[in-house]
Amino acid sequence: MEYCKSCATLLLREWKGWPLRNPIPMLPQRGDGGCDVCGSLEPGIPSKDIQWLNYHEPYNTGLPDYWLLVYEQKTKWGRPYYSEIECRRCHGRAVLSEHGDARRESYRYKINCPKCGLLSPQPRSDGWRPEFKR
Ligand SMILES: [Zn+2]
Ligand SMILES: [Zn+2]
């Protein structure tokens, strides 16, 4: 799945906060006929390229001051736009967000819904538990 580059760039640049705590924006998809919203035909951003980046102010060596959403660099903190899913509460369009540490392969997941906010995903009947591991 790809997102419209011109729409997504603006929306991603506006966001700062904490992963799985502050909702992230829904991004317009770049379908076969261009962007659903602005009609742009330029190549889209693959959803898996969007990453969390922990931002430290100069001289801060402790916890990050906040996090950003980036797509031009690789980090090890997981994919905010891991996949698009149906919200389990309102059944609208939502995103499954992944956050964690790639070095330990340990991730947590939350449903990010524009109407309901952040929800814990339910474990699936086949035993897959998205909040613990991929
Ligand atoms: Zn667009
Ligand atoms: Zn919802």
Rounded to whole angstroms, what are the CA distances from 41 to 9, 27, 49, 78?
15, 15, 19, 28
* pLDDT the model gives residue 109: 94
> Which ligand is nearest the CA of 92, by number?
2
Q: What is the pLDDT of residues 68-114, one digit of tens each?
A: 999 999 999 999 999 999 999 999 999 999 999 999 999 999 999 99
pLDDT band at 128 (very low <50, low <70, confident <90, very high): low
Residue 62 has a pLDDT of 87
Q: How far is the CA of 26 from the centre of ligand 2 (A)?
A: 12
Q: How far is CA 7 from the centre of its chain?
A: 15
- Residue 129: per-residue pLDDT: 57
For the segment 35-49, the average pLDDT, to the nearest whole number, is 95
CA of residue 30 to ligand 2 center, whole Å:
22
Give pTM, 2 decimals.
0.87
Residue with more model confidence, 127 or 79 = 79
Burial-class residue 63 by CB neighbours within 10 Å (0-12, 13-18, 19+).
exposed
Tell whether the model's pLDDT for residue 124 goes beyond 70. no
Report whether pLDDT(30) > 90.
Answer: yes
Q: Is the pLDDT of residue 28 over 90?
A: yes
Q: Which of 16-25, 88-97, 118-127 has the lowest mean pLDDT?
A: 118-127
Q: Which residues are CB-neighbours of 125 under 8 A, at least 6 positions away?
A: none
pLDDT at 132 over 50: no
Ligand 2 geometric centre to CA of 120 (Å): 11
C-alpha 11 to ligand 1 mean position (Å)? 10
Chain Cα centroid distance, residue 67: 12
Residue 125 clears pLDDT 70, i.e. is over it: no
